[in-house]
Amino acid sequence: MADKIVINDLNFYYNQKQAINNLNMSIPANEIFSVIGPANSGITTLLRTLNRLCDLTPGIRIEGEIQLDNQSIYAPEVSVTELRRRVGIVFDVPTPLPMSIFDNIAYGPRLARKKNKKALAETVELALRQAALWEEVKDRLKIQAMSLSGGQQQRLCLARVLALEPEVILLDRPCSGLDPISTAKIEESLTELKKQFTIIISPHNTQQAARISDRVAFMLMGNLIEEGANMEVFSSPKDRRTSDYITGRFG
């Protein structure tokens, strides 16, 4: 299968501190790619470099290359806003905007290409269905998004990204604050969504990675330790540190 994202010799620094060391990785299209590892492993940093949200942090420096469909995303001619529409992100805490449910989702499409009302409503419904939230909110799309529960807010954020019709979806510990039922719902939709999108997720625990991923990468202190198909990594890890981590000896 074609590689959607290719990372070559990536080094990432916050001022003097190096957060990612010489990373090489290829992420195939239409799969769920999990990046696992303990805190401070550079995983969030990695996700945020993929749609250049890290640009917002002062004092960062990036070396190496990241390609999306064989094009460098850090090339000067790349439009950052266009890139962020193609590579959507869901954060570890729900981040609804201070507006209604409908507007939260319709916002991106409205800005991207001024759709007519009917098409917009369809986009919103589809996105909410894909994020397994439609049934719960269909009668109250006009209420403030902030008044939803945490799990619902997080699915709203997923729907918001889906409505942009991106190519890649990044999920940074999307279920860390969620109850098991919301988590199950999100996992279910992700498995469905990978037919359409490339999904890169930092799962909040190894069990989740084992349940949903096609491929798994294990990172530790900014280094990529091991990467491979789900079964391989979890049943016969090549590196000692990987097996220690997935068996719960540390992390």
Partner 1 sequence: MKKFKEKLSGRVFFVLALSTISALVLITVFIFVNGMPLIAEVGLFNFIFGMSWAPEQGQFGIFPMIVGTVSVTLGAALLGIPVGICCSIFMAEFAPAMMKNIFRPAIQLLAGIPSVVYGFWGLIFIVPAISTHLGGVGMSILAGSIILAIMILPTIISISEVSLLALPRTYKEGALALGMTHWQTIRHVQLPAAKSGIVAGVILGIGRAVGETMVVIMVLGNSVALPESILDSVRTLTTNIGLEMGYAAGRHRQALFATGIVLFVIIMILNISAQYITRKKVK
The percent helix, strand, coil of the chain (3-state, each to 5) is: 40, 25, 35
Helix (H, G, I), strand (E, B) or coil at 236: coil
Strand pairing report for 215-220 and 223-229: antiparallel
Based on the number of CB atoms within 10 Å of its own CB, is 119 exposed (0-12), middle (13-18) or buried (19 or more)?
exposed
In order, the DSSP letters of 162-178 are HHT--SEEEEESTTTT-
Q: Which is nearer to partner 1, 57 or 247 (CB)?
A: 57
Q: Which amino acid is at 191?
A: T
Non-local CB neighbours of 226 within 8 Å, separated by 6+ positions: 217, 218, 233, 237, 238, 239, 242
Please report, as ranges, the residues that interact with partner 1 according to CB under 8 A.
51, 53, 56, 58, 81-82, 84-85, 88-89, 91, 93, 95-99, 107-108, 111-112, 157, 160-161, 164
- Provide, rounded to whole angstroms, the least separation between the CB of residue 64 and partner 1: 22
Question: Which candidate, 15, 12, 60, 66, places its Cα nearest to that of 222?
Answer: 12
d(C-alpha 143, C-alpha 39), whole Å: 36
Q: Which is nearer to partner 1, 23 or 54 (CB)?
A: 54
Q: Which is nearer to partner 1, 124 or 220 (CB)?
A: 124
- With the C-alpha atoms ordered 130, 155, 166, 41, is the resulting torsion angle positive or negative? negative
Q: Which is nearer to partner 1, 165 or 244 (CB)?
A: 165
